[in-house]
Structure formats: structure tokens, C-alpha cells
A = this chain, B = another copy of it.
Amino acid sequence: MTHILVVDDDKQLLRALRIALTARGYEVSLAPDGTSGLLAAQRGPLDLVIVDLGLPDLDGVRVVEALRGWSATPIIVLSARLTEESKIDALDAGADDYVTKPFAIGELLARVRAALRRSVPVEQIPIVRTDAFTVDLTARRVLGADGTEIRLTPTEWHVLEMLVRNPDRLITHRQMLHEVWGPRYETETNYLRVHMANLRRKLEPEPSRPRHLRTDPGLGYRFTP
């Protein structure tokens, strides 16, 4: 579910936003000041952050800057300040949007949708991680746990890609042979054995005890992140 963090010291507004956002199907976290907001942001991945500029401990601009230090999550800034400078400062610090209080809740929700829509291309990069390796499907690259590149042959990549695109789902011998080698090779399960062995040798910490590239005896193979 889409996860939104709201940082604001106005209890009443916080409650109103929680209700409005939850009603739209967002998962909402709340933080009453900048420090706890940053802590909450570090705890888990967020899809959007809404920050008030007037916080009791930190200036909201500081919060935006801190967040931008390590995260690309979209940020919407709220503020009662009317001066132009504060808007500019916040946007230049890395905020994605700026809403002046008082605002209509419907407008804020529209801006939330716009910000989330924009961030989709960034978020949805197909990268699959396990504790042993990372598969970047767009770059066609596999990195080991230590970040070194692991080189795969064309067939190995094709097999791995098919498994990784269907996490936790069983891929039958037939399906895989059909997709990778073609319709006429659906009985050549030998091929699978050899190439799966090679993949495991390159990717699994203990190739003989595979934890991510698993075998379903008699049926096929399965990737578990």
C-alpha cells in the first residue's frame, strides 16, 4: 500500500489529514516534529512525505534538506507563511510541491496524487534483491552481495529473468524450455539441470543448498527472494 508520512505539530490538522488520507486508501504515519519525522523516514521506505514548515524543533526546510540527503521520496511542503522566499527556499531545498495554509483538503489530495504519479517511474525500476545477489532487470545486470558484477551467459540470464519476474511462483520445466529454447525443446530437461547448476554456482552462497533458486521436484523451478 502507498505509505505517506505527515510531519506537523498541529494536532487538529494531523487528525484531519490522517482521516482524509486513510479514507483514500493510503497508509499514514504521523510525526509531531522534525526529529521524529526524520526518524520515521529512516525506519522504512516511504512513498510520500508531507512536511509543515513551522515545526517546534527544526525548520521544515532543514527537514527537507536532511531527507534529500539520502532519499528521493516526493515531498510536499505545507506552510502558513505567505512570503515568497520561504516557498522558494523549500522548493530549492528539494521539495516537490508547496501548499499554503489554509488549503482545501481536496486540493492537497490532488497534489498528493500528482506527486505520487510522478514518482512512479523512479520507484518502479524493476530491481530484485536477495541477501546474496541483486538483479537489475532494466540494466540486465546482476550484482553479488559485495557489489561486484556477476557475469551471466545469454541463456543463464534468460532463465534467471524468467524466474525473477515471477517471484515465488512455480515455473514448470515445460514453460521454461518453451520460452528460452523454443517449442520444440519442451522435453530437454537436461538443459535446465545444467544451466540451473551454473546459475546456482554463480549466485548461491552454497550452490548445493540453494535458497533462492529452488527446485520443485518433478515440476519445475521457483525463485524466492
Contacts and interface: CB of A to CB of B under 8 A. Distances in A.
A169 B114 contact: no
A148 interface: no
Interface string A90-109: 01101111100000101101
Q: How large is the interface on A (under 10, 10 to 19, 20 to 34, 35 or more residues)?
A: 35 or more
Contact of A110 (B87, B140, B151, B218): B87
A168 interface: yes
Interface string A152-173: 0110010000000000111000
Interface of A: 72, 84-85, 87-88, 91-92, 94-98, 104, 106-107, 109-111, 113-114, 117-118, 121-122, 138-141, 151, 153-154, 157, 168-170, 216-219
27 contacts: A72-B121, A84-B106, A85-B106, A87-B107, A87-B110, A88-B110, A91-B110, A91-B114, A92-B113, A94-B117, A95-B114, A96-B114, A96-B118, A97-B114, A98-B111, A121-B122, A138-B169, A139-B170, A140-B169, A140-B170, A140-B216, A141-B168, A141-B170, A151-B216, A153-B217, A153-B218, A157-B219
